[in-house]
Structure 1
Amino acid sequence: MSQDYKQFKITKGPIKLADFKTDETFGLSKKDAKEDLEDFQETLFELQERLYAENRRSLLIVFQAMDAAGKDSAIEHVMSGVNPQGCQVFSFKQPNDEDYEHDFLWRHYDALPERGRIGIHNRSHYEYVLVCKVHPEYILKERLPNIRKVDDITKPFWDDRYKSIRQFEEHLTRNGTTIIKFFLHLSKEEQHERFMDRLNEKDKHWKFSAGDLDERELWEDYERVYEECISATSSDEAPWYIIPADKKWFSRLAIGRIIVKTLQEMNPDFPKVSKKQAEELKLYKEQLESEADKPK
């Protein structure tokens, strides 16, 4: 199955989320998606192995979304077939005291994937222009020199922060890290259903908090800041993908296919051996084969 997902790719703004469907499936069924998911996981494993062996580049995958959009389950299902040795997952919570002793990118830089590895950031450096833009009082915790009160946080402040993010990502791409960013686009109606599931099913109670409802009241504010953020930070080098998230099975399929396509375009390869190394390997093989011929 070879569906083209380029319509989800954003390389420049401005964008409006209302222009993107949350329930797109391309006419596929859940059964189709399951079969396709199993098919590309084998390809993903092979590509990851080549990336790890090459050990020159890395892939950073960023996940952002409204609450209950399915980030955790997407990561679990899509990446279930990869070798843990070559994959690193970081789920970022609220900054701690140590984080606030540094600039806002510090803890994210420290969590970047090493060469040869795939890094997944479940929430990311974008929280500082998303949650913090809806709740600008959080910025005061950073103790920035010219920010003493919320009124000091003006449009130029956010423009500079977007600029810092773009420069950060440009620096990473210049140094061998390919970046793809997923926004799981969930409808407010589907979020309502998923919150109800969390309240109705005992084994999902731990996922729910009263704060979820407080943030839901700010739905339009979050839509606005996501539009502004995606518009300001999408580029050819570090594109955003707006993924329909009302059907979890479809979002997993789309995410997996985009990751595979990105790795195929990176085209990692196993290291080539020199003529001298090839001759040495031949000798090693002969030595091992001679051992097998000796009587036990």
Structure 2
Amino acid sequence: MNLKHILGGLLVAGSLISLSAAANEKLSVAATPVPHAELLEHIKPALAKEGVDLTVKVFTDYVQPNQQVADKQLDANFFQHKPYLDTFNKEKGTKLVSVGLVHVEPFGAYSKKIKNVSEIKDGAVVAIPNDPSNGARSLLLLQKQGLIKLKDPANLLATARDVTENPKNLEFKELEAATLPRVLDDVDLALINTNYALEAGLNPTQDALFIEGADSPYANLVATTEDKAKSPAIEKLIKALQTDDVKKFIEEKYKGAIVPAF
């Protein structure tokens, strides 16, 4: 074979590689750092084999991930549960949809001042998230512990105004969810989303005074716009997140702090 043939072969091979790379679909997904971004980074190689180049955009709040997907700046997001998504859609007029459940982050109560629920004093200050769905989630968990009673014991959007019995006269302080770990020194009790607890170095299974069970209705999901819900790249993303490999990764890395929901 002469040099011309060799060079020709290399050019053809190079063109095929180039075409293959160009054929890979780009997929951008918003996520909060822990565990969502970590799970997405874990499945990147599997998605690449399926022809999807995944870019993970990390956010530390609960508003921008939805807004940027609704504005078509990003393709999907992975950080929230359905009660939060439903509330966001209603308040912002968006139409984002859930395309798959991945895991449950059992919601927990933390304190630096007490070691047991029985030590909660009269008039204790309790910090809860200020968004409707997670605020209600906090109240439902407090109700489960017998600390309060709600008008409707199953209302996933209950507020402090729905508390009908508060024997310990708990004082509720509503704060941005991301800031809750930072106020632990200033309050008696804080109800914290597991992703923010993990980021702050808290171990939900060891440090929480009490925590939700795996039967929680707050499974974390992947959300996108209606027009992208059935796109091949989104379907491949969900398939990659709902594998035995991911289940094993969750169980080994988070050791019960989050649990698979598929």
Q: Same fold (TM over 0.5)?
A: no
TM-score by length of 2: 0.29
Q: From the two aligned structures, give the one with the greater strand fraction.
A: 2
TM-score by length of 1: 0.27
If asked which structure has higher relative contact order (CA below 8 Å, sep 6+), I would say: 1
